[in-house]
Structure 1
Amino acid sequence: MPVTDQIVVRCRKGDARAFHELYEAYSKAMYNICLRMTGHASDAEDVLQEAFIQVFKNLDKLSSESSLTAWIKRIVVNHCLSYLRKKKVYFEEVGETDAPEETDVDETHHAMTVSAVKDAIGQLPDGYRTVLNLYIFEEYSHREIAGMLGISESTAKTQFMRAKEKVRQLVKLKTT
């Protein structure tokens, strides 16, 4: 039985040490998701704590076939989205023809550093940042993102394209 399975079994029995071990094993990665999606450390901490409360309360619902990491990640992402809905994040609806096709762009001439890109993503409006994070970092499809956010797939694609363009502009300004 893998170590995480053993921890889950112990958590289900009410072992406080196991809860701590589970939290320590996953909190850093899940905090990074929260931070990317909320854009603020204090908000990320709050969302993370709420998500882990949900994780601990629902460990009995975790099926043996489910990946613990994917299950926890899904709970964390859902809590982030719930937080953003409460903040009334705006997703601009667009028509089917407004979603531009993705094209390959030679970006090698831009001196994109990790910190410049991180800063640029942090400056994005919440809606753009949310779609960009879900697509790039959390690897959800545009269709999945649309379903999660209650928007059309073309709106998800457009928000993503606009977010990428805004990041390019911000990074270009910073590196020139």
Structure 2
Amino acid sequence: MVEQSKQGNQNAQYQLYGLYVDAMFNVAMRLLTIREDAEDVLQESFVEAFKKLDTFRFESTFGAWLKRIVINRSINHLKAKRLLFASMENEGEPVEEDEKIEDDDFEMEKIKTGLAQLPEGYRQIITLYLIEGYDHVEIGEILQITTSTSKSQYHRAKKKLIQIVKEL
């Protein structure tokens, strides 16, 4: 399908869109949280992907390549709105040891509610690391921050999330 799409086959492009639209919408929603923004970014991402399809080299799956486009577009959208990383003043600060938590202490609904209450920058780090599975080096590249900043922001975000969830 990707090869046919590269050749301009609109039916193949429509099929690719159908295969990936729901998953990519979920990625955009986790990062943006506003449905209309996620829909806009999703459409822009697909347009960009189909325009740049000739650069896709099968070094990864099409889904992984598209997901990277969606994530980058989502982050650029947030940067444009000046919502990303409101506070980075303690860059490079040593990271405290993880607090030990029992899985049974937290219900998934409480965690989702807690995530929604996190500041935007913290939510971005948690989403990229825990949900999307990126490591801190990749997050640093995506967000144009240092690896140590990614790690310290992740640990602060996790600590804040634990605090919010305990209060729920």
TM-score, normalised via structure 2 length: 0.89
**Partner in structure 1 of residue 88 of structure 2:** 92
Pair 120,104 (structure 1): closer, same or farther in 2 beyond 3 Å: closer
- Give yes or no for contact 1:47–1:79 (8 Å, CA) kept in 2: yes
How much identity, in percent, do the aligned residues show?
39
2:64 counterpart letter in structure 1: A
Q: How does 1:15-30 map to 2 (within 5 A)?
A: 15-30=9-24
Distance 1:165-1:52 versus aligned 2 partners, 3 A rule: same
Q: Which moved more, 1:44-53 or 1:58-67?
A: 58-67
1:106-157 CA-to-partner distances (Å, cap 9, x unmatched) read: 32452x2222211211221111111111111121111221222222222211
The runs of 5 or more residues in structure 1 that have no matched partner are 1-6
Point out 4+ residue stretches in structure 1 off by more than 3 angstroms. none
Show CA shifts across 1:31-67 (max 9, x none): 1111111121111111111111111111111113332
Question: Which of 96, 101, 107 matches 1:106?
Answer: 101
CA distance change for structure 1 residues 12 and 104 in 2, over 3 Å: closer, same or farther? Answer: same
Q: 1:124 aligns with which of 108, 112, 118?
A: 118
Q: RMSD of the TM alignment (CA)? A: 1.7
Q: Which amino acid aligns with 2:33?
A: G
Q: Who is 2:5 aligned against?
A: 11
Alignment of 1:133-152 (within 5 A): 133-152=127-146
Whether 2:51 is the aligned partner of 1:53: answer no
Q: Distance in 1 between matches of 2:60 and 2:26?
A: 22
- Rounded Cα–Cα distance in structure 1 between residues aligned with 2:51 and 2:163: 44
Corresponding letter in the other structure for 2:88? E
- Matched length: 166
Measure, in 1, the Cα distance between the counterparts of 2:87 and 2:12.
Answer: 40
- Counterpart contact for 2:98–2:155, Cα < 8 Å: no
Q: In 2, distance between residues paired with 1:91 and 1:146?
A: 16
- Name the counterpart of 1:4: none
Shift of 1:93: 3.6
Give, in whole Å, the separation in 1 of the partners of 2:94 and 2:132: 21
RCO comparison, higher one (Cα < 8 Å, 6+): 1
